[in-house]
Amino acid sequence: MSKQNNLHVFSAGAVAPPIKKCAEKFKAKFGTEFEFTVGKAENLMEKIAETKKGDLLTCGSEYILDHAQLKGLVLKETRRSLGSRISAILVQTGNPKKIKSISDLAKEGIHVGVSVSGCLTGVWDDLATKAGLAEQIRKNTVAYADGCGELMSFINKKQVDAILGWDAFKNMNMNTMDIIELPKDLQVHRSTAIGVISFSKNKELSEKFIDFLVSEKGKKIYEEQGWHHVK
């Protein structure tokens, strides 16, 4: 297969499932071969800067793509938002602690997990502060994740009673998590974003794939994976 019909996608872990599904559909239609490098956004950017290779970078928030752009790794004019995720409380299947709202995370004996890096940076603070419960939830926070993957593992391994994460986590963990939706006045929304890597030798094909991602077919795949349409 000619390198001219290959795309190397760097993807943060929690946003990889929908773009991989889209890649399968794109390959079936155009014969394009895909290589995926999946990991933490910070590590991906280091790898791109070191190797000066790759075609596309997708991460879980616009501000991460801002950093990539400012480092000269992503072309601003190619950036697109693919879908959004909404903050939510995720609990163990069956919700053994009967958590119904964010105020329950402030109760004595509840163990909470949060993320302190990646696309969820600062989200627990936004949620808890809006609810007027920052002090109480901080006291109950016993586990700090280095990104979405580790945060989800806290629930999957039953290390905490609840995590503050994204609603799309439920679609990735159907058998281990239940979702507690937050009221609209507390919700935080962040978009999943993508851009062409500045070192790409396949810019035209990369932009063609982005066009597919934001098409109705691409949007449907993201929706099926728990993402919401970006208006």
pLDDT, tens digit (0-9, with 9 covering 90-100), for 57-110? 999 999 999 999 999 999 999 999 999 999 999 999 999 999 999 999 999 999
Whether residues 169 and 100 fall in one domain: yes
pLDDT at site 229: 80
Overall average pLDDT of the 190-202 stretch = 96
Whether residues 92 and 173 fall in one domain: yes
Q: Report how far residue 156's alpha carbon sits from residue 118's, in angstroms, rounded to the nearest whole number.
A: 19
DSSP 3-state of 132: coil
In a domain, 41, yes or no: yes
Stated pTM of the model: 0.90
pLDDT tens figures, 112-148: 999 999 899 999 999 999 999 999 999 999 999 999 9
Percent of the chain with pLDDT over 90: 94
Give the side-chain half-sphere CA count within 13 A for 113. 26
In a domain, 172, yes or no: yes
Overall average pLDDT of the 7-21 stretch = 96
Overall average pLDDT of the 175-193 stretch = 95
In a domain, 42, yes or no: yes
Whether residues 74 and 147 fall in one domain: no
User: Residue 1 pLDDT more than 60?
Assistant: no
Whether residues 125 and 203 fall in one domain: no
Whether residues 141 and 66 fall in one domain: no
Give the pair of three-digit tokens for residue 186: 């507390």
In a domain, 231, yes or no: no
- What is the pLDDT confidence band of residue 230, given thresholds at 50, 70 and 90? low
Whether residues 90 and 168 fall in one domain: yes
Percent of the chain with pLDDT over 70: 98
- What is the pLDDT confidence band of residue 177, given thresholds at 50, 70 and 90? very high
User: Residue 2 pLDDT more than 80?
Assistant: no
In a domain, 126, yes or no: yes
- Are 186 and 74 within 8 A, CB to CB? no
In a domain, 230, yes or no: no
Give the side-chain half-sphere CA count within 13 A for 14. 33
What letter would DSSP give residue 50?
Answer: H
CATH number at residue 164: 3.40.190.10
In a domain, 131, yes or no: yes
Whether residues 108 and 160 fall in one domain: yes
Whether residues 111 and 150 fall in one domain: yes
- What is the pLDDT confidence band of residue 174, given thresholds at 50, 70 and 90? confident
In a domain, 186, yes or no: no
pLDDT at site 18: 95
Overall average pLDDT of the 156-171 stretch = 95
Mean pLDDT of the chain: 95
Whether residues 131 and 51 fall in one domain: no
Domain span including residue 156:
85-181
Question: What DSSP string describes 164-231?
Answer: EEETTHHHH-TTTEEEEEPPTTT--EEEEEEEEBTT-S-HHHHHHHHHHHTSHHHHHHHHHTT-B---
- Are 113 and 151 within 8 A, CB to CB? yes
Whether residues 89 and 77 fall in one domain: no
Q: How many domains does the chain have?
A: 2
Whether residues 91 and 177 fall in one domain: yes
Whether residues 91 and 66 fall in one domain: no
